[in-house]
Amino acid sequence: MGTMKILGIETSCDETACAIVEDGHTVLSNAIASQIDLHAKTGGVVPEVAAREHVLNILPIIDEALFDANCTWDDIDAIALTRGPGLVSSLIIGTQTASVISYVKNKPIVPVQHIVGHLYSNWLDRDEDIEFPALVLTVSGGHNDLILMKGHMDFEVLGETLDDAAGEAFDKVARMLGLGYPGGPAISKLAVSGDAGAFDLPRPYLNNDNLDFSFSGLKTAVLDTIKKWGGMDDKFRADMSASFQEAVCDVLSTKLLRALEKTNVKEVHLAGGVSANTRLREVISAKLPDSVTFRHPKSLIYCTDNAAMIACAGHYLFAPNPSHFGVENIIPSTEFRISY
Ligand code: KG4
Ligand code: ZN
């Protein structure tokens, strides 16, 4: 059996990324041009600025991924590509670049839904078998879902966010506290020196029987507390960071445990940008029974947006059915629904 190499391209938001993944788990290269410094100046992603950066970075990043993996285009079996959801102006740079390469190099192209990419981040650098069904909590800036993976590319959405995703709440609260962008890493760093019991923040959307999430009320509660407090000092910022982080971890882990009770699976995975959060990992593993295997992405760069997860998901779409994919012009999709 020969090996299969998939080149992945991801440009859904503010990272221009290209990676090569072998046999659905071995990461041969993972190149990424981050725009964090640029967007830190504006306190968030400005879509037109992000799109310009993608144009500048995409070809060098693809070359870097091939170089790092010691590959040429002849070694690549297929191109996996984030088709959406995301910022259309960012997505289009990836879809058009990949489509042109697909024509010129005669490579099949495999469109991947971005959230499905996050679901596959737990396969990266793991060559052991992962058993199905697996329950996945995926938490990012743009999405927040509880998903039952019954097999490869076989998903059931058990719950999703009704308004803000947890990552977005981290970013907005960080902005209220004057901590800059992106908010998650800044809040989790400050939270270490804060008192998580200092502020009694709500645990929204736990008093019901569904597995959906809502974080906008928590965000408003933080804003109200800040307004009432008047002048913030360092102690306030640290205590608020810790209290807010604790509320988010409490809600996410409680819903995850409820989903586990309903599904009774033996595999629980955490994915998405917020899976980088140490406290969230701690709270979840403390609540899970020993009989459950708990996985989060092996590396922090696999938590936030990256192309290795796209290549990995692309592998599990392409490998069982290569003739289904061909040279094609892919256009961006804003579809949030997870299905294949
Ligand atoms: O998955 P991702 O890179 O992009 C989306 O698909 O949205 O997630 C980005 C989100 C941001 O909201 C960022 O603040 C959050 O992940 N994040 C974190 C941490 N690192 C990144 N949130 C909490 N703690 C962290 N350590
Ligand atoms: Zn993402």
pLDDT tens per residue, range 221-265 = 999 999 999 889 999 999 999 999 999 999 999 999 999 999 999
pLDDT of residue 340: 62
Ligand found nearest the CA of 167: 1
Alpha carbon of 127 to ligand 1 centroid (Å): 26
Ligand found nearest the CA of 164: 1
* Integer Cα distance of 8 and 58 in angstroms: 12
The per-residue pLDDT for range 55-87, each reduced to its tens digit, is 999 999 999 999 999 999 999 999 999 999 999
Pocket test for ligand 1, best of 170, 176, 218, 219 (most atoms within 8 A of CB): 170
pLDDT of residue 225: 97
Ligand 1 atom nearest to 114, measured from its CA: 6
Angle made by CA atoms 43, 185, 161, in degrees to the nearest 5: 80
pLDDT of residue 339: 63
* Integer Cα distance of 11 and 83 in angstroms: 9
Ligand 1 atom nearest to 15, measured from its CA: 3
Pocket test for ligand 1, best of 82, 124, 140 (most atoms within 8 A of CB): 140
Neighbouring C-beta atoms of residue 38, cutoff 10 Å: 15
Ligand 1 atom nearest to 245, measured from its CA: 23
Alpha carbon of 165 to ligand 2 centroid (Å): 11
pTM of the model: 0.96
- Residue 27 tokens read as 């990461």
Ligand found nearest the CA of 302: 1
Q: Whose CA is nearest to atom 1 of ligand 1?
A: 273
Ligand found nearest the CA of 170: 1
The per-residue pLDDT for range 292-339, each reduced to its tens digit, is 999 999 999 999 999 999 999 999 999 999 999 999 999 999 877 776
In sequence order, the β-bridge partners of residue 111 are 81
Alpha carbon of 27 to ligand 1 centroid (Å): 21
Alpha carbon of 100 to ligand 1 centroid (Å): 31
Q: Whose CA is nearest to atom 18 of ligand 1?
A: 184
Ligand 1 atom nearest to 170, measured from its CA: 14
Residues with CB under 6 A from ligand 1: 13, 140-142, 167-168, 170-171, 182-185, 188, 272-274, 276-277, 304-305
What's the Cα-to-Cα distance from 56 to each of 53, 94, 204, 310, 312, rounded to whole Å?
5, 12, 42, 21, 25
Q: Identify whether the C-beta of residue 142 lies closer than 8 Å to the C-beta of residue 168.
A: yes
pLDDT(92) > 80:
yes
pLDDT(122) > 80:
yes
Q: Which of 142, 164, 159, 67 is nearest to 305 (CA)?
A: 142
Alpha carbon of 170 to ligand 1 centroid (Å): 8
* Integer Cα distance of 183 and 19 in angstroms: 26
Alpha carbon of 146 to ligand 2 centroid (Å): 15
pLDDT of residue 38: 84
**Mean pLDDT (whole number) for 194-214:** 95
